[in-house]
Amino acid sequence: MTRLISFFLLSIPLVAQSQTVRQTMIIEDESTFRISGKSSVNSFDCQIVQGFCGESVDVCYNLQATTVKFDNTKFSIPVNQFDCGSNFITRDMKKTLKAEEYPFMQFELLSIINFDNLNCNNSKAETLVTIAGVTNRYLLNYDISQLDEDTFKIKLNSTFDINDFNLNPPSALMGLIKVDKTIDVSLSLQTRIEQP
């Protein structure tokens, strides 16, 4: 959720504590977002491929000692772009996430705690995650790699309880098949720094 967008910090030197930096990141085609889980009889895997690619993310941050504070750094996931490999499962997933009423999930990066410019993999990203209009705060671990001077890959794997978002797991056959309330979220985000 990642979240998550702090990887761009690796490409620039650390700034003075009072200085605020603004940049724009472009989400590239190689990015994917996946939700997976289990039911009482099977497992499911829903993903978005290129559903949010080409979008730009405005990043604004301020370095304070070993913590990086962000301001309005967020991006959205289009719920209606999910493909679960089965029309039935895809329909139930969108219904569970209330896609018609809330067509986007949103991740907002608040801060990176214990930031180390040389090793971001050991940091935690304080993130707001909004699903179906309900927002929760999390500390998310993420892995980052620099592909070239301006391009970065973020990988985030985390587990969420959908009850935290006031969602009810779907069921089938009059409740005989039930979906577990825990879902796994996997993000692979490839981004590029937009040059002026």
pLDDT in tens, 42-85: 788 999 876 676 777 877 777 666 677 878 788 888 999 999 88
Contact of 49 with 30, CB cutoff 8 Å: no
Confidence of residue 166 (pLDDT cuts 50, 70, 90): very high
Q: Which residue has the higher pLDDT, 137 or 21?
A: 137
Residues of the chain above pLDDT 70, percent = 73
Q: Which residue has the higher pLDDT, 90 or 178?
A: 90
pLDDT of residue 106: 92
Distance separating alpha carbons of residues 78 and 28, to the nearest angstrom = 16
Q: Which residue has the higher pLDDT, 20 or 108?
A: 108
Three-class SS state of 29: coil
Strands (E) located in the chain: 20-27, 32-38, 43-49, 56-64, 67-78, 104-113, 124-131, 134-146, 151-161, 171-172, 177-178, 182-193
Confidence of residue 170 (pLDDT cuts 50, 70, 90): low
Give the mean pLDDT of the chain: 77
Of 163, 172, 127, nearest in space to 4 by CA: 127
Question: What's the CATH fold of domain 6-193?
Answer: Lipocalin (2.40.128)
pLDDT of residue 144: 73
pTM: 0.79
| For residue 180, pLDDT beyond 60 | yes
| For residue 113, pLDDT beyond 50 | yes
User: Model confidence over 136-163: pLDDT tens digits?
Assistant: 999 988 777 778 888 888 888 899 998 9
pLDDT of residue 65: 62
pLDDT of residue 169: 72
Q: Which residue has the higher pLDDT, 134 or 71?
A: 134
Distances (CA, A) of 76 to 56, 109, 129: 11, 12, 10
Q: Which residue has the higher pLDDT, 124 or 163?
A: 163
Confidence of residue 10 (pLDDT cuts 50, 70, 90): very low
Q: What is the dihedral of CA 48, 53, 55, 59, to 10 degrees?
A: 90
Residue with tokens 């990642």: 2
